[in-house]
Amino acid sequence: GENVEQHPSTLSVQEGDSAVIKCTYSDSASNYFPWYKQELGKRPQLIIDIRSNVGEKKDQRIAVTLNKTAKHFSLHITETQPEDSAVYFCAAAVSARQLTFGSGTQLTVLP
């Protein structure tokens, strides 16, 4: 089955700096790569996703890049703000019905 590794497990950045979270996956058949944000005590929510026919996708301050050859994908957050502090999960799926999540990254944005 699919195995997703996520790094780093914790990340602290100064407000206004950029943050990068990286994930690798094992199943070359995976074709869907979403990112979820989970604020403390809340539910995970989708923030951005990318499919395997696209190399990069951007939505305001967040962007995701995908390298299918190397089987890795990354989340980039620019101009970080305190409200970006949360746990971020990457995931990979061959079909939309079975996502395999990474272990999560606790991002802390320091004021």
Q: Is 47 an interacting residue with respect to other proteins (CB under 8 A)?
A: no
Q: Is 40 an interacting residue with respect to other proteins (CB under 8 A)?
A: no
Place of tokens 């004021």: 111
Decide: 9 and 23 in contact? Cβ < 8 Å.
no
Q: Which of 40, 50, 48 is nearest to 77 (CA)?
A: 48
CB closer to other proteins out of 43 and 111: 43
Tokens linked to 102 = 């990474």
Q: Is 21 an interacting residue with respect to other proteins (CB under 8 A)?
A: no
Q: Which of 56, 69, 75, 74 is nearest to 28 (CA)?
A: 69
From the list 21-29, 60-68, 76-84, 92-100, the region that binds other proteins by CB under 8 A is: 92-100
**Which residues bind to other proteins, rule: CB under 8 A?**
32, 34, 36, 38, 42-46, 49, 87, 89, 93, 96-101, 103-104, 106
